[in-house]
Copies of this chain bind each other. A is one copy, B any other.
Amino acid sequence: MTANNIDLAATAIAGAAADATRTVDTHASSTYAPPSTSATSSPPPYQPHPLGPLSAAEITQSSRLVKAAWPAGTDCHFKVITLLEPAKAELVPYLTAERIGQSPRDINRRAFVVYYIRNTHNLHEASVNLTKNTVESNAKLGPFIHANADGEEIIAVERAVLSHPDILAEIAKLKLPEGTEVVSDPWIYGSDGVKDGKFYDDKRLMQCYLYMRDPKNSSELDSCHYAFPLPISPVIDPTTMELVRIDILPTGLDEKVKPLAPWQPVEANEYIPEAQILRTDLKPLNVVQPEGVSFTVENFSELGRLIKWQKWDFKVGFNQREGMVLYDVHYDNKPLFYRLSLSDMSIPYADPRHPFHRKAAFDLGDAGAGIMANNLRLGCDCLGSIYYISSVLSGSDGLPINMPNVICVHEQDAGIGWKHTNYRTNRAVVVRNRELVLQSILTVSNYEYILSFIFNTAGDVMYEARATGILSTQPVDLELSKTPHPYGTVVHPGVLGSFHQHFFSLRIDPMIGGHGNSIVYDEALAIPRDPELNPHGTGYIVQKTEIETSGGFDLDSRKNRVFKIVNPAVRNNVNGAAVGYKVMVPPVQPILADVDSFHYKRAEFADRSIYVTRYAEDELYAGGKYTNQSRGGTGVRSWANRQESLKAGDAVLWVQFGINHIPRVEDFPVMPAETIRVMMRPVNFFDRNPAIDVAPSTQALNCSVGLNGSTKDVEGQLNGLSLGCQDGTPSKCCASHTGS
């Protein structure tokens, strides 16, 4: 057991009690009131921080309380056991008191629990009060509400698929080489509104896409099977493991499906290093922090981490669905953000042909950015001096699962932060930009998302998404490999990477200078010619528009439209403007599926770059709380469409960004990361450049190099490097500089 893994023995609290005064959630379409069960233990004696992720003990307590609400022997399949965050009205005074050093009033700890009665489609949502050791609500959901997939289930479905005689009979028609290993990639089923044959729209289903490992190298478990897609797609009921249907895939240029024919050999396309002739001329580049890192980490709860760095301070949480969540972000003790998280993702595909028309993944709601987070010790995901944050989530049995190293925290140099040379004196002042990165990586079958919050020394916060991993490929007739395909790019002989859009929704719950923020946008507008004021036709002004009603908004680069969060009650000391932060987001093509399509209805955020809603409890996820086979009508578009006055409560900003991924051959077998960044940047928030007090590079260590070919070592570690060499063979003679 590693140092920061949770000792499960210590967390096995004995039993848990269900409160007799259990309430039933009223929002579900049907409700279920389980029989009362007797309590078997006391609640924990302490009151942990209201924002701390659920501890292992609390996860166990939650599942026990829920199980205890059912007759003995009832088998619950837990999907989510995660912190139910306190209402804003309770939490804001708590955080305010905490910050000024007063004792905050205790807030009850609660867990949000989603579970099935195992092997049934009976889905329940419960709220557990951990402080009072009671189940406060417990409701059956449905019939059109479905929970996320989980890892255990995905593996069970693959096993079922690969042993089902009907499926094996179809595979046999392909006459694959002796010893071929077939694999089955799970895919969330999606919705299309069709009720036919064995398909029940009120049941949770899973579509599977079949591949094979390189038949010449079948024992290589890390062979890239995406180079060998097979034209068979079984549909499975993951609850019963029943085979619902076998879809045969269209492999031509149109929607026609041909009879299965023998597989035609193609070469492999591996990504593992032992299959490559690796480059040998990339020399090591090490990041060395001889005095350690510039940040500190405190435990604000058993698993919650308070990070302080360069005047920033914020709390880091972690949950099953969103993964990393930041709370209570301040700079120099000035409030900035109440809560920041990636709220949702949607990836609708372009291929309209059955069954591809259903491919539309919501990787957060359908799987979970937390539960799918990589253990970052597996690879070398960060550079420099790294602090890892581990966490604990729940398994389908309701017991804790260790999630080691799900977030890595490190600093990086980001080039020049600011510079000026006085040409009269030739004195240059140059300050480097240092960044603090919190990175988490999720793998959803074939695909990887590298998700980071990045802070810098100039008061900026960025959210970065890097899309990498492997395309979800599909077969195309080998003889069509060099024919342009209407819905995708051939990335390997017989392999199509179909077009798809990626939409991300970043939820920003701001408190710029305090709560009560407004959202405005500025536009730059030419002013008309006027003989006195604008005789030469060169003038322009900035026009500000306040968003007074919730709704969706678009970018408009032709107007230089910039969205800002401002606090009208707090004014800049220098110029009296409302203090603010602007949100700089790259444009994205809106979802291409038509407004009547299920893709569109479900991805409630994929049509506008900006949504603004009035804060409401329980509205955290842009695509709605339950995205698996969702049918729309719940999510940020629906909430914004309430057209509520934003004067009457806090505005919440939902920022959408993404990629229309038209695959390149270069994206296979693993795609070079495609990077998108959203930047939040102070606008008249500070009184001057907040990085003006960062020490210039020349002030720190030995940075300015000698000019006359002299060599000397940087103080400390850099033995053997010569400084100040202005010319010559760079591999032997280079200046090694040191940032501030």
Contacts and interface: CB of A to CB of B under 8 A. Distances in A.
Contacts of A21: none
A37 interface: no
A310 B282 contact: yes
A201 interface: no
Interface stretch (A69-77, A105-113, A533-541, A631-639): A533-541
A426 B404 CA distance: 14
Nearest to A536: B357
A53 to B, nearest CB: 15
Contacts of A193: 536
A463 to B, nearest CB: 14
**Copies per complex?**
2
Contact of A295 (B352, B727, B730): B730
A606 interface: no
Interface centre among A383, A424, A685 (most CB of B within 10 A): A383
B726 A425 contact: no
Contact of A491 (B446, B468, B524, B575): B575
12 contacts: A221-B424, A284-B740, A285-B289, A287-B287, A349-B538, A374-B421, A378-B428, A418-B469, A459-B666, A529-B594, A537-B594, A537-B599
Interface in A390-447: 390, 404-405, 409, 411-413, 415-430, 432-434, 441, 443, 445-446
A640 interface: no
A387 interface: yes
A277 interface: yes
Nearest to A446: B420
Contacts of A693: 276-279
Contacts of A221: 422, 424-425, 427
Nearest to A389: B727
A448 interface: yes
A430 B269 CA distance: 17
A525 B483 CA distance: 20
A337 B29 CA distance: 62
A291 B673 CA distance: 27
A117 interface: no
B662 A542 contact: yes
A199 interface: no
Interface string A708-740: 110000101111110001111111101111111
A484 B544 CA distance: 11
Given A279-B694, A420-B470, A689-B667, A731 B293 contact: yes
Interface string A514-527: 00000000101111
A227 to B, nearest CB: 10
Interface in A453-498: 457-460, 466, 468-470, 481-484, 486-487, 489-493
A670 B560 CA distance: 23
A678 to B, nearest CB: 13
Contact of A575 (B382, B432, B482): B482
A281 interface: yes
A522 B434 contact: no
Given A2-B707, A273-B696, A285-B411, 4 more contacts: A221-B427, A388-B735, A420-B446, A666-B689
